[in-house]
Amino acid sequence: MLRFTPPNRPEARRILAGTLLSAIGRGLTLPFLFIYLTDVRGLTDARAGLVIGWFGAVTLALSPLGGTLIDRVGARRVVLPCLVFEAVGVGSLALVDSTVTAALAVTVMAVGSAAIWSGQNTILASLTDADERQRVFGLNFALLNLGIGAGGLVAGSIVDTTRPSTFQLVYLLDAVSYLAPAVILLTLPAVGRRLAAPAESAGRSGRRGGYLAVLADRPFRRLVVFGLVLTTCGYAQLEVGFTAFTVRVLGEPPRVVAWGLAANTIVIVLAQLVVIRRLEGRSRAAALAVTGAVFASAWLILGSAGLVDRTGSLLAALCVVACAAVFGLGETLLSPVLPALTNALATDELRGRYNAMSSMIFGISGVIGPITAGPLIGAGGGALWVALVSGGCLVAALIALSLRPMLSAEQDGRPADPLHAASTGFGVPGASSTPSTSARPPQGRKSADRPPIISR
């Protein structure tokens, strides 16, 4: 498995090492921001949700600019300053004492976050071949979660709501961790340069360029809709909805959230390589549909804890941990497929914009999720929250199934040979476990007579 997964180029392996190092710092703070702002800094649930939602709003507003700059000047010139902004913003959270200062800190964080994800995905895509890209994105996610889980376990044994200095310490350590990928990128001067000149883009793309060309891609638009629904009801709920339901509705202590994060990480680290192998030659659209069903199951498990006991019992804690573990299984499906499909639809000239729009999905959901989950759960609507997020994930699964007919076999990750049609991939006819031998995705725009052609 380990020989099968790593990228061929050493530069890509070093970028993955930077992901792991920075993720350890991220894990120190990821599950605790809502608790830190409310129980330590005294913000109400609603204000904390608004502050976290503001982070998503600023990220969303700046993401298109980040994608344009990546295509025009290269990813390295965008990612390096963004890592510095992220470090400053995270470190500033250690000093917040009001809603205003918290909003200022997350604003600086958002400036950095706006282009880090799309920039790093663009760099990885430029360092990998099409037939290994899905595996590399999956490995990147596994390393990310390994680092987050390790950091979360450390933080869970350190943080104490009665001692604000413990939270200040983990936020300062998180800030320092963002320097690791910056240093690695500085040692790779040839990595992250501009992939194509604007003149080349105009010549090959034809009538339109920029975001107009991206938005004209019908399959990608459908992928964006799927991502918005799934992340709003999935990822965007982890930092606020999952934490608030566990602490407020179930009456569990913050350490149970850390246990859930640990279970989530264990599942991802143990299952990711197996899932990557099983995804080879199978329908990516079908894998996305299964992801929605798995996420819905996770939220229903969490909701069942509210029916069992609301007094902080062991059984309720086990449901919290089980929810996070099942959610992690869905993440192992989504993490390699979403960026791989995004880059299969992208051209080199517009790759930064495609990845930026993909990351904007998380920005939009990052606004909607926190500002709805925090006040809703705080007002006693925990059961309604569970119904909404689980139902939304099932709707996302249906949207993913509608995407499959729009994709070529190459883009969907399945063999084009009709002899394989009897095989199935995740319950959808036409997908096979035979590894795809497709060549690189086409780099020009799709023509009208060509068969229609989705990322803590």
Residue type, 206: G
Query: Using 50, 70 and 90 to split pLDDT, how confident is the model at 157?
Result: confident
Query: Using 50, 70 and 90 to split pLDDT, how confident is the model at 310?
Result: low
- Cα(429)–Cα(431) distance, rounded to whole angstroms? 6
Structure tokens at 267: 């599942």
Residue 204, classified by CB atoms within 10 Å of its CB into exposed (0-12), middle (13-18) or buried (19+), is middle
Question: Cβ atoms within 10 A of the Cβ of 179, count?
Answer: 17
Average pLDDT, the chain: 82
- Cα(23)–Cα(87) distance, rounded to whole angstroms? 13
Q: Quick one: average pLDDT of 22-36?
A: 85
Q: Quick one: average pLDDT of 258-275?
A: 85
Query: How would DSSP label each residue in 139-199?
Result: HHHHHHHHHHHHHHHHHHTT-BTTBHHHHHHHHHHHHHHTHHHHHHHHT-TTTT--SS-HH
Q: Do the Cβ atoms of 85 and 165 come closer than 8 Å?
A: no
* % of the chain beyond a pLDDT of 70: 86
Query: Residue 429: is its pLDDT beyond 70?
Result: no
Distances (CA, A) of 302 to 118, 284, 326, 385: 32, 27, 10, 11
Residue 429, classified by CB atoms within 10 Å of its CB into exposed (0-12), middle (13-18) or buried (19+), is exposed
Query: Residue 202: is its pLDDT beyond 80?
Result: no
Domain positions in the chain are 10-193+207-429
Cβ contacts of 70 within 8 Å, gap of 6 or more: 78, 115, 118, 119, 122, 351, 352, 353, 355, 356
Q: Quick one: average pLDDT of 256-271?
A: 85
Query: Using 50, 70 and 90 to split pLDDT, how confident is the model at 445?
Result: very low
**For the packed helices 164-177 and 179-186, what is the interaxial angle rounded to 10 degrees?**
10
Residue where the block lists tokens 């950095």: 112
Query: Using 50, 70 and 90 to split pLDDT, how confident is the model at 228?
Result: very high
10-193+207-429 has which CATH code? 1.20.1250.20
Distances (CA, A) of 406 to 25, 184, 410, 423, 452: 40, 39, 12, 20, 5
The highest-confidence range among 45-59, 132-146, 157-171, 215-229, by mean pLDDT, is 215-229
Cβ contacts of 78 within 8 Å, gap of 6 or more: 66, 69, 70, 115, 119
403-416 pLDDT tens trace: 999 998 888 888 86
165-193 pLDDT tens trace: 999 999 999 999 988 999 999 999 888 88
pLDDT value at position 375?
79
Query: Residue 327: is its pLDDT beyond 90?
Result: yes
Q: What angle do CA 370, 374, 380 make, to 5 degrees?
A: 150
Q: What angle do CA 126, 131, 133 make, to 5 degrees?
A: 45
Question: Residue 290: phi, psi to the nearest 5?
Answer: -65, -35
Q: Quick one: average pLDDT of 35-64?
A: 86
The highest-confidence range among 30-34, 345-349, 422-426, by mean pLDDT, is 345-349
pLDDT value at position 417?
53
Q: Do the Cβ atoms of 54 and 37 come closer than 8 Å?
A: no
Q: What is the pTM of this model?
A: 0.72
Query: How would DSSP label each residue in 280-342?
Result: TTS-HHHHHHHHHHHHHHHHHHHHHHHHH-SS--HHHHHHHHHHHHHHHHHHHHHHHHHHHHH
pLDDT value at position 425?
46
Q: Quick one: average pLDDT of 223-244?
A: 88
SS3 212: helix
Query: Using 50, 70 and 90 to split pLDDT, how confident is the model at 380?
Result: confident
Host H or E run for residue 80: helix 76-92
Q: Quick one: average pLDDT of 233-246?
A: 85
83-124 pLDDT tens trace: 999 999 999 999 998 999 999 999 999 998 888 888 888 898
- Cα(355)–Cα(126) distance, rounded to whole angstroms? 12
Q: Do the Cβ atoms of 56 and 228 come closer than 8 Å?
A: no
Lowest mean pLDDT among 91-105, 194-208, 216-230, 327-341: 194-208
Q: Quick one: average pLDDT of 241-246?
A: 86
- Cα(282)–Cα(1) distance, rounded to whole angstroms? 18
pLDDT value at position 308?
66
Query: Residue 329: is its pLDDT beyond 60?
Result: yes
- Cα(280)–Cα(139) distance, rounded to whole angstroms? 14
- Cα(8)–Cα(418) distance, rounded to whole angstroms? 31
Q: What share of the chain is helix, strand, coil (3-state, %, to 5)?
A: 75, 0, 20
Q: Quick one: average pLDDT of 392-397?
A: 95
Q: Quick one: average pLDDT of 16-37?
A: 87
- Cα(85)–Cα(91) distance, rounded to whole angstroms? 10
Closest CA to 327 of 231, 431, 250, 433: 231
pLDDT value at position 405?
92
Structure tokens at 230: 């799934």
Q: Quick one: average pLDDT of 55-59?
A: 82
Cβ contacts of 215 within 8 Å, gap of 6 or more: 221
